Amino acid sequence: MSNFIYNSYSVEHPGVVRIYQTEEERLVAAAQPQKSSQSHWLLLAIVMVAVAAAVHQITESWTDGHMLAAWMVLWSMAFAGAALFSSPARRSLRMVRTGYRAWVDSRQQAVSDERVWNAALQDARLMADLARAMDRQRS
């Protein structure tokens, strides 16, 4: 009898390996925050239009000699403000989304707990299981 077995074939099916790889890639992509979002650029465009309208109203009364310097200062302030505003706005929006999702999850969990409790009021075995689980949590 032979002590060694030399198998030259693959023990993993290539299709299954591909499915698991794409599932892992989807999970990694879902865990990473989006680099650029449409709402961020829309908000930035709205702010830029508002600043441009304000600059136009302010600069109509200025003299022609200082117009170019005033435009440069105002536009640099607008871009600096937009750059400073974008990161905190994204961070606060992300915090609001996370808080809302946590609240929705907690409400769903409360509804589920209420259903189980109402079912346990009708079934003694389920109530005994819940009592044992609560006793295990206390100790």
Positions of the chain with pLDDT under 50? none
HSE-CB at 21 with a 13 A cutoff on CA atoms is 7
CA distance 73 to 91: 28
| Single-letter amino acid, residue 42 | L
d(CA 34, CA 97): 13
pLDDT of residue 63: 57
The whole-number pLDDT of residue 34 equals 58
What pLDDT is stored for residue 99 in this prediction?
94
Residue ranges per domain, the chain? 37-138
pLDDT of residue 1: 53
Buried b (16+ CB within 10 A) or exposed e, 57-78: eeeeeeeeeeeeeeeeebeeeb
pLDDT at site 89: 78
With beta carbons less than 8 A apart as the criterion, state whether 47 and 82 touch: yes
Whether 117 and 131 have beta carbons less than 8 Å apart is answered as no
- For residue 58, the model assigns a pLDDT of 67
SS3 at position 78:
helix
Confidence (pLDDT) at 66: 66
Cβ-based neighbours of 127, under 8 Å, separated by 6 or more: 120, 121
